[in-house]
Structure 1
Amino acid sequence: MSWLKTVIGTEKAVIAMCHLRALPGDPGYDSKKGMNWVIDKARDDLMALQNGGVDAVMFSNEFSLPYLTRVKTETTAAMARVIGQLMGEIRVPYGVNVLWDPVASFDLAMAVDAKFIREIFTGAYASDFGVWDTNVGETIRHQHRIGASHVKTLFNIVPEAAVYLGNRDIRAIAKSTVFNNHPDALCVSGLTAGSKTDSALLKVVKETVPDTVVLANTGVCLENVEEQLAIADGCVTATHFKKDGIFDNFVDESRVARFMEKVHQLRG
């Protein structure tokens, strides 16, 4: 039995993203609408996801585009305010993802009692955000310094909008990531949010590290969830749950419900 069962309550878990709208300091932030509007929209999406039956949610600053690899204090503070105001209404296990800063994600997780975080913890990349380096040794030491050893770590090993600077295949990456870092899960992604995770790639990762939880991290939808969950231990889903399956839109509860009905059928 994996930690998905003990922490989230089921194997083949569906973790739904609750995408926060642009926050103070972000280029897209609407200061006229203000933070109360951001909170209201986050609440609407959270309710639609929960009412639709998802197993868990993960809050992220998805609309903080373009992303920083070391976020500003105002971003973490704003996310803490949003989640803090929603905590009394959250009915499922939840995690956080401060894009793309694992130290800030741990800080936020401790502030709001999150059960897991997803991040780029390891590797060096050429990316849309410039040359992107990480320091997993320091990050994990920070996790333990602040008392976050219980927070589950979801390692994204196929970063969106980035390629490894080193010439390593996915088998080597998966094997060394697990050996060196003991992640709680590996996330396998497509090119961008909403892009399908390659099933062949997913299969290679799962076969390479069969004792580690492997999640399909992007692009899982009603049409491919059977194929993806036949390989992966669970999935992280966002774009498919939005109106018309469009990234910029808000969550459509009916799409969530249809997807989760299919997942329950697959679980038997």
Structure 2
Amino acid sequence: MSQVSAPFSSPALSVLHRTFPLVSASFYRCALSIQRRTDPDSAPFLGSRPHSVMWAETMTRRYSTWAEGAPLSSCSVSQITRKACEEVEVYVSAGIDGLIVENMHDIPYSMTVGPEVTAIMATICATVRNSYPNIPLGIQILSAANQQALAVALAADADFIRAEGFVFSQISDEGFLNACAGDLLRYRKQIGAEHIQIFTDIKKKHSSHAVTSDVSISETARAAEFFLSDGVILTGIATGKQANPEELKEVKQAVRIPVLIGSGVTVENMEEYMDADAMIIGSHFKKSGYWANEVDFERIKKFMTKMKKLRK
């Protein structure tokens, strides 16, 4: 993938879908309009279609690794890996554009992620990459384990990560989270991972933003752009909750980097987000639209069928 450049010309609307394994490291999200790089010396880029076209990338169901000490541990690494590949196959068959691997089921999340989670995530992601060498692949490790996610992405030959707490401080359900942009981008440089894109949440879900209540969503987006984010992610207040379409308009006018929608997109409301450059979809692609349920092929296929029509 080639790196997004600013200004971001001819953006594409991407749909990302998360996949979670049944062990403590959940993973998989699809990023629409992220294309797999073919030149190892090139950087990744987000999309090449005009923004009126939606390139829907959906990820597989999030898996929690539930291994090596997580409170819900129940599966071996081989079981998690096998389940992950099974779900990837469902998503690919339904026509998604990319995947994100995330340890969603590692509840309760910790600000201190152990080396076992990083190792398990690297094992799973490398297996997925070997099985699907050409699909865009992203990584997120909860909670806010952004450097670990970069390391896994580099080891597994993934294309991007989703990072929390990039700019400004916030109070999340895991605790106080400080901005990490300076340290994270220096780490990316140090490990030779500059070809891996970093998409960053702003005013993220499951958090209180009272400490930055005097900073608007557009000002937050501009700060992320100034600090070299490859794209910003807008969400609702919680997993599966709809993002504010008015905020999408505001942020699109404020920055020149890609703007992604990170929660709450459904087959019923996707038209409200066609100006976005990408969509991350998790809950809607599960049975009954609940994030922890099994992947529902028919729901994904229905969504992608409508998406293809909207792209025309």
TM-score normalised by length of structure 1:
0.92
How far does the alpha carbon of each residue in 1:62-100 deviate from its partner, in whole angstroms, 9 at most, with x for none? 111122233111111111111222223225211111122
Aligned length: 263
Partner of 2:201: 156
What is the letter of the counterpart of residue 270 of structure 2? V
Residue 98 of structure 1 pairs with residue 144 of structure 2: no
Report whether the alignment pairs 1:189 with 2:235.
yes
Q: Go from structure 1 to structure 2 and tell me whether the alpha carbon gap of 1:199 and 1:2 turns closer, same or farther (over 3 Å shift).
A: closer
Which residue of the partner structure matches residue 294 of structure 2?
250
1:71 and 1:5, CA in 2 relative to 1: closer, same or farther beyond 3 A? closer
SS of alignment partner, residue 236 of structure 1: strand
What's the RMSD between the two structures over aligned residues?
1.8
Matched, 1:22 2:65: yes
| Residues in 2 aligned to 1:241 and 1:5: alpha-carbon distance in whole angstroms | 20
1:59 paired residue number: 101
Contact 2:129/2:158 (<8 A) preserved: no
In 1, Cα distance between equivalents of 2:240 and 2:64:
17
In structure 1, what is the equivalent of residue 118 of structure 2?
76
Aligned-residue offset at 1:126: 1.4
Alignment of 1:117-132 (within 5 A): 117-120=161-164, 121-132=166-177
Residue 173, structure 1, aligned to residue 220, structure 2: yes
Higher helix share: 1
Q: Where does residue 282 of structure 2 map in the other structure?
A: 238
Residues 158 and 190 in structure 1, CA contact (< 8 A), matched pair in contact too: no
Identity within the alignment, %: 28
- Asked whether the equivalents of residues 34 and 98 of structure 2 are also in contact (C-alpha less than 8 Å), the reply is no
Whether 1:204 and 2:247 are equivalent positions in the alignment is no
Unaligned ranges ≥5, structure 1: none
Q: Tell me, what secondary structure is at the counterpart of 1:175? A: helix
Letter in 2 for 1:194: G
Higher alpha-carbon deviation: 67-76 or 137-146:
67-76
- Aligned pair in 2 of structure 1 residues 170, 55: CA closer, same or farther (>3 Å)? same
**Paired letter, 1:141:** R
- The AA in structure 2 aligned to 1:125 is Q
> Residue 17 of structure 1 aligns to a residue in which SS?
coil
| Alpha-carbon separation, structure 1, partners of 2:172 and 2:46 | 32
CA displacement, residues 142-189 of structure 1 (integer Å, 9 cap, x when unaligned): 00000011111101112121123223111211112212x121111001
Equivalent-residue separation in structure 2 for 1:22 and 1:253 (angstroms) = 22
